[in-house]
Every structure is written in structure tokens, then in C-alpha cells.
Chain A
Amino acid sequence: MTPFQWIAITFIIGAAGYELVIIRQQRSVRLFGLFRGVIWFAAALAILFPNQIGRLASLVGIGRGADVILYSFVLVFLATTFYFYSRYLRLQRQITDVVRYMAIQEATRGTEEQTLEEV
């Protein structure tokens, strides 16, 4: 194994171990924990057996194994960005609804200082 493989595998074992701990403490939904575990496992495989990625690359018509990783990252990055932006906008709208509700409930009339409930 190359020095990079040692470093990367050590990091992945640490991350997977942490994943196990939070699943055991039930701080994470088990399904999502498993999903993240699969991702780490796939990363470990890709680092330990780079030639297999090269074979996968030629299988799907891409020249190099590194390109498969790069293209996959681009796709996942775009999908994730869009997903989180959607979530962000929806959350922002929900917060605005709460802010609006409170503003209307606590409306006051200038100089007279009375709330809607008192009118």
C-alpha cells in the first residue's frame, strides 16, 4: 500500500467508527447512518483497488478511473447544491411566515399604542 492509501484508510476507518458510535447512541437515523457507511465503504474500495475503478471507467466509456470519480463528484455536487438551495428557500419562507404572523398579531396603532386585540 502507498503512504496515501495508509493515510486515507486510517481516516475512513476513523469516520466509519464515529458513524458506528452515533448509530449506537441513536443520535442518527439508522438508515442515513447506513447510507453514509456505504459511501465510506465505497471510498475505501476506490482507494484500495484503484485498478478496479479504471476497469469501471473503461466499462462506461470513460478513459481514466480518476475521471469517473471527477464526473461523479460534479454530478453529486450539483444535485446536492440544488437540493440544499431548495431546502434553504423553503425554510426561509417558513421563517418568514412565522415573522409575518407575529408582526400582524402584535400590530400597534401609532400614537395610541394599542394592539389589534384591544381594538
Chain B
Amino acid sequence: MPDARLTDDSAIWIIVPAYNEAARIDQTLAPLCRAFSNVVVIDDGSTDATAEIAARSPVWVLRHLINSGQGAALQTGIDFALRQGAGIIVTFDADGQHDAGDVLRLVEPIRRREADIALGSRFLGKTIDMPWTRRVMLKGAVWFTRFFSQIAVTDTHNGFRALSRKAAETIRITQNRMAHASEILDQIRENQLQFCEVPVTIRYNVATLEKGQSNSAAMKIAAQFLLGRLVR
């Protein structure tokens, strides 16, 4: 008999970490809420009305009292979803970069039990209006990760992923800030989780580029990741 935790769409929990996304959060949530009943927004100590606007949609809203970082917000959402009995957890950026239409394709390998974690890859899929500087930075991040984490992936800092319950219970994000993406890959390797990459579409616009990581921040993320490895 098929496991309802895998086949039922209501077993899919979408985790949306958000920081100062008042201008976009409703547009991000609308297609998600149409397709899925369990959407969790983690307002990471925003100074704008992100939480209030999110609360107008049929979603769970969790609020960090202080800004703790995207990694911390993701772990909060994962903890919450696991407690609610989630079968599959999908992480989804709040800034509208990701396409809600990709979610079911992303969870498919987990449903078929081919993987514990499915990683979205913009380089296998499609990027819309991606600046070349961002492409160079992300390619650099891929090589950095391949060297330090010894894991062969085509896209490293893509916030669009799907985790089986087992993977979500196994992975523990301790890197509060943006270095969590590399940390997740580290833990996939260390815990010998089965992973696969799924082509996804990432859409860039002026707002998402302003909000996203600047190229200069990449060095800071790399330093945080390496220092965080020294201090467990």
C-alpha cells in the first residue's frame, strides 16, 4: 500500500523563510496556497509588515523575535513541519524567484523513493534575466562546494529543495546565515543521504537582485562556512 505521507499532496509542507518581504510575499504565497494546504512562513524578525501580510493568506505564520538568518528560519520551519507530521518538506524562497509549478516535479524523486533529498538546479533548468556576474559568482560557489564538501552538484546556493521526512530529521542546520546551503550539502554527504538534482526555473528581477546576496557577500559566506566547520 502506498505511503500517504508520500503520495498525498497534503503531506507536502512548504517552508518559506521571509525577511522584509512585505512588498512581494503575497504574490509568492498566492500560487502556493492555491496548490498546497500546508504553507509555513517564517518571518525572520522583519521590520516591515511581512508577517501581517502573510497572515492574510491561509498559511502558518511563525515569527522570529530577532533576525536570525535564513538558515535559522529554515530550521525553525522544518522543526515545525516535522511536529505537524510532514511527509515531504519543500524549502521555497519568499522573494518570488521560484516557480510554484516546479514543486510537484521537485518532490517526485522522493515520492518514487529514489532520493532522500531533491535539490533544485537552475543550471540544469532555466534562469530568466540572470546577470552574468551572478552566474560567475554561482559557478564559483559550485567549485568551492565541490572542493570543500566533496559533493558533485551543479547548483549550490539554490534555496529550492525537497526533503523527505527522514532527510529533514537527519539534517540539522547550525549555520544561521547564508552558509547553510553549503552546510546542507556537507550533511548530505556525511549522513550518506541519497540526493538528486531536479531542473527548476529561477526568475530574476531588480527587486530579487537587490534582496539577494551581493557578489561581495560571497566571500563572507565562504568565511562563515569555513569558520563554522571549525566550531561545531
Q: Give A contacts to B, CB under 8 Å.
A: 82, 85-86, 89-90, 92-93, 95-96, 99-100, 102-104, 106-113
Contact = CB atoms under 8 A, between A and B. Distances in A.
Interface stretch (B3-11, B63-71, B124-132, B136-144): B63-71
27 contacts: A85-B227, A89-B227, A89-B231, A92-B176, A93-B174, A93-B176, A95-B68, A99-B72, A100-B75, A103-B62, A104-B76, A104-B79, A104-B83, A106-B63, A108-B55, A108-B60, A108-B61, A110-B41, A110-B55, A110-B57, A110-B58, A110-B59, A110-B60, A111-B55, A111-B57, A112-B58, A113-B55
Name A's interface SS. helix
Contacts of B174: 93
Majority DSSP secondary structure for residues of B touching A: mixed
* 8 closest Cβ pairs, A-B complex: A103-B62, A110-B55, A100-B76, A110-B59, A86-B231, A89-B231, A96-B72, A107-B62
A108 to B, nearest CB: 5
A96 B76 CA distance: 9
Contacts of B76: 99-100, 103-104
A107 B61 contact: yes
Chain B interface residue number, banded: 20 to 34
A111 B56 contact: yes
Contact of B231 (A90, A103, A104, A111): A90
Given A85-B231, A86-B231, A89-B231, A103 B63 contact: yes
Contacts of B199: none
Interface of B: 41-42, 54-66, 68, 72, 75-76, 79-80, 83, 174, 176, 227-228, 230-231
Contacts of B54: 110
A111 B227 CA distance: 42
A103 B56 contact: no
A102 B79 CA distance: 12
B72 A100 contact: yes
Contacts of A86: 231
Contacts of B230: 82
A115 B228 CA distance: 35
A90 B176 CA distance: 11
Contacts of B66: 95, 99
A111 B68 CA distance: 26
Contacts of B60: 107-110
